[in-house]
Amino acid sequence: MNIYVDGMGGDNAPEAIVEACVKAVGDFNKKIHILGSEIAINNELKKIGYTGTDIEIINTTEVVENEDEPSKVIRQKKDSSMVVGIRRLKEDPESIFVSAGSTGALLAGGTLLLGRIKGIQRPALTIALPSKKGTPTLLLDVGANADCKAVYLEQFAMMASVYAENIMGIQSPKVGLINIGTEANKGSELYKEAYVLLKESGVNFIGNVESRDLVESEADILVCDGFTGNVILKLTEGLSNYIMGSLKRSMTSNIRSKIGALLLKPALKKFKKQFDYKEYGGAPLLGVKAGIIKAHGSSDAKAFYNAIRQGIIFQEKKVLEKITNKTVEKL
């Protein structure tokens, strides 16, 4: 298995990316290929003091910016770390590619250069949300498809079910459809139609789930269009940061609060960990013909390290092959 990493993608590249790769090669005993500016990446390796042979630098001369139009990146920035990385996947389907770069460009590159799994009409980005039941809940799509058809949501549920069974070890994962009410006739025409398709799809569909119940739902998988999913993702992150910031300010406001904070510190650390995206790493781009992991744009070394870890498990568990086989069965 080859691991290709976008060394220039994300807010903290290349520093955090290189730091994560150095830790990953030591922990996972895998060779990692970092794509990007050879000078910049070498400088970071020197800062860390890395002198091993398990990191190879693949020099590229261009960088994909968030402002770049995704559909043009493939043609106009052929020597970018992202495009070269995706092309390496096409040459070596058993490899994985991890990037914290532009979501739109990554989606466009994955779709146009690699192609979709036969029978899958749109790829989807998947993330793990904390939940009351103890195991994370998968949420998709979280931004790959702002506009959806009902059949896309059905396919998202099928792909996520395979992922949950193999990566999370959940047998017959429960699928919920995010909606404005629990009744079958609630929501837009898209969601009404999706409800019917999911009920007849063969996945373990448990019905509609309202947004206020996302964390407390028994669902292992929550399905929605990419616009809704991205709003939920950003709101969850923002609210989590606000709550933790407010607690910190309140608990350091006076001596009594500080003493109480010391007593509560273990519980607060556990609470923070539940809502920390860094613990989950990245979002697999399900539906394309290779293993692509999209790390958060603001990933630090810890988050990117976990994205690499997630990609390795994705490949070792042959999730792509199992999704492909499942899709073929339905055709």
Q: Are residues 257 and 319 in the same domain?
A: no
179 lies in some domain: yes
171 lies in some domain: yes
Q: Are residues 116 and 165 in the same domain?
A: no
Report pLDDT for 271: 58
Report pLDDT for 238: 78
22 lies in some domain: yes
Report pLDDT for 274: 56
Q: Are residues 10 and 54 in the same domain?
A: yes
282 lies in some domain: no
Pairing between β-strand 282-286 and β-strand 124-129 as defined by DSSP bridges: antiparallel
315 lies in some domain: yes
Residue in this structure with the two tokens 């739109």, named with its chain if needed = 104
pLDDT tens digit sequence for 21-73? 999 999 999 999 999 999 999 999 999 999 999 999 999 999 999 888 888 89
Q: Are residues 235 and 310 in the same domain?
A: no
Contact 99, 85 (CB under 8 A): yes
Q: Are residues 157 and 196 in the same domain?
A: yes
Report pLDDT for 132: 79
Q: Are residues 195 and 315 in the same domain?
A: no
Domain C-terminal end among 277, 298, 321: 277
Q: Are residues 158 and 273 in the same domain?
A: yes
Report pLDDT for 246: 77
3 SS3 class: strand
Q: Are residues 94 and 47 in the same domain?
A: yes
Q: Are residues 86 and 131 in the same domain?
A: no
Q: Are residues 273 and 129 in the same domain?
A: yes
Q: Are residues 114 and 181 in the same domain?
A: no
**In which residue ranges of the chain is pLDDT below 50?**
none
For residue 259 the two structure tokens come to 């003493």
Give the CATH number for residue 297. 3.40.718.10
Report pLDDT for 195: 97
Instruction: Quote the number of domains for the chain.
Output: 2
Report pLDDT for 261: 66
Report pLDDT for 256: 73
Q: Are residues 13 and 66 in the same domain?
A: yes
Domain of 14 in residue numbering reads as 1-120+287-331
For residue 124 the two structure tokens come to 């989807």
Task: Give Cβ neighbours of residue 113 (< 8 Å, ≥ 6 apart).
Answer: 74, 83, 86, 87, 90
Contact 232, 138 (CB under 8 A): no
